[in-house]
């Protein structure tokens, strides 16, 4: 027969856990609203910048910029930016990123020795430092740096390494925010920038830069800012997705706790009823023995 004190202790422990998961769900929900707002406010700017870069990339004058060329040489290393979280308890949010990376490496036949990792988030660093991976950059969100500073630091390193031909391509892996219930791990190439074929649809128009003598400097800044903006928006998406995923995970944990409490309560009542029945039988047997 189950021990009544043991069952009661388990019920009490699970009730405490339920209170914690319920509180964490509420906290995540509050943070989600704030992160959703930041993400949605910046989305229009990021999409507009995408269109600007697309229009610039259709201009044949710009084909000399290093961002439009793969490294010329034997260096076929690939840079991969991974945006994870610093904290856990958010379901499969981080593991989906790692799984996507391994799937892409396997599909394209790329050896892990060829990749250079640029990591934002403690969970990704903890995961990949266990293996033989070349981590060229790593920062935590909890270190005090703002997302703007982190995206700026990472964009500088990425741009510098690409221009110096330390890698031929750069990809970014992050969770894109679709809805509160759905976040999807995606991979996107950010360097080299895509252009139309040099033999088709050439044009020299679209934007007027004055004075002309500063054209190269201005375009260089625009293209470098684009990398920073792309990373920054991915960070905002990841922040919103992390809180949504954590809110859902804590909601599931709370529901599971309620189910366990219900099952244990039934077991407790059955055990208590059995104990009462045994006591009654002992009393009856004692009475019969006296007679």
Q: What is the pLDDT of residues 104-134, one digit of tens each?
A: 999 988 888 889 999 999 999 999 988 888 9
Among candidates 243, 203, 233, 186, which has minimal Cα distance to 43? 233
* DSSP class per residue in 210-242: SSGGGHHHHHHHHHHHHHHHHHHHHHHHHHHHH
Domain regions of the chain by residue span: 53-238
- CA angle at 68 for the pair 234 and 71, rounded to the nearest 5°: 100
DSSP 140: -
115, 134 contact by CB (below 8 A): yes
Residue pLDDT, tens place only, 149-163: 999 999 999 999 998
CB count within 10 Å of CB 180 equals: 16
From first to last of its 291 residues, the chain has per-residue pLDDT tens of: 568 888 899 999 999 999 999 999 999 999 999 999 999 999 999 999 988 888 877 765 555 788 888 766 567 889 999 999 999 999 999 999 999 999 999 998 888 888 999 999 999 999 998 888 899 999 999 887 899 999 999 999 999 999 888 898 999 999 999 998 999 999 999 998 876 644 444 444 556 667 766 777 888 888 999 999 999 999 999 999 999 999 999 999 999 999 999 999 998 888 888 878 877 877 777 777 776
Residue ranges in 129-214 assigned as alpha helix (H): 147-163
SS3 of 73, please? Answer: coil
Among candidates 255, 241, 273, which has minimal Cα distance to 173? 241
DSSP 21: H
pLDDT of residue 199: 47
Among candidates 155, 185, 183, which has minimal Cα distance to 170? 155
CATH architecture of 53-238: 3-Layer(aba) Sandwich (3.40)
- What are φ and ψ of residue 110, in 5° steps? -95, 130
């Amino acid at each position: 027969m189950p021990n009544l004190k043991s069952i009661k202790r388990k019920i009490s422990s699970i009730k405490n856990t339920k209170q914690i998961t319920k509180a964490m769900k509420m906290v995540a929900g509050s943070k989600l609203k704030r992160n959703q707002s930041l993400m949605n406010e910046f989305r229009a700017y990021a999409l507009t910048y995408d269109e600007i870069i697309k229009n610039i990339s259709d201009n044949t004058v710009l084909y000399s910029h290093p961002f439009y060329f793969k490294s010329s040489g034997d260096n076929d290393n690939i840079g991969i930016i991974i945006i994870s979280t610093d904290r856990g308890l958010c379901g499969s949010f981080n593991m989906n990123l790692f799984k996507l990376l391994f799937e892409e490496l396997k599909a394209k036949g790329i050896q892990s020795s060829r990749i250079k990792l640029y990591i934002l988030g403690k969970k990704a660093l903890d995961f990949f430092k266990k293996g033989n991976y070349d981590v060229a950059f790593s920062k935590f969100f909890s270190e005090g740096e703002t997302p703007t500073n982190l995206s700026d630091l990472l964009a500088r390193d990425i741009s510098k390494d690409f221009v110096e031909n330390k890698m031929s391509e750069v990809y970014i892996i992050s969770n894109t925010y679709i809805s509160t219930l759905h976040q999807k791990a995606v991979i996107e190439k950010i360097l080299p920038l895509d252009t139309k074929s040099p033999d088709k649809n050439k044009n020299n128009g679209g934007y007027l830069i004055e004075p002309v003598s500063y054209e190269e400097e201005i375009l260089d800044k625009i293209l470098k800012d684009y990398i920073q903006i792309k990373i920054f928006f991915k960070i905002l998406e990841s922040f919103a997705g992390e809180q949504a995923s954590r809110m859902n995970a804590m909601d599931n944990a709370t529901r599971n706790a309620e189910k366990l409490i219900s099952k244990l309560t039934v077991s407790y009542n059955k055990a208590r009823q059995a104990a009462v029945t045994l006591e009654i039988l002992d009393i009856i047997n004692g009475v019969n023995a006296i007679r």
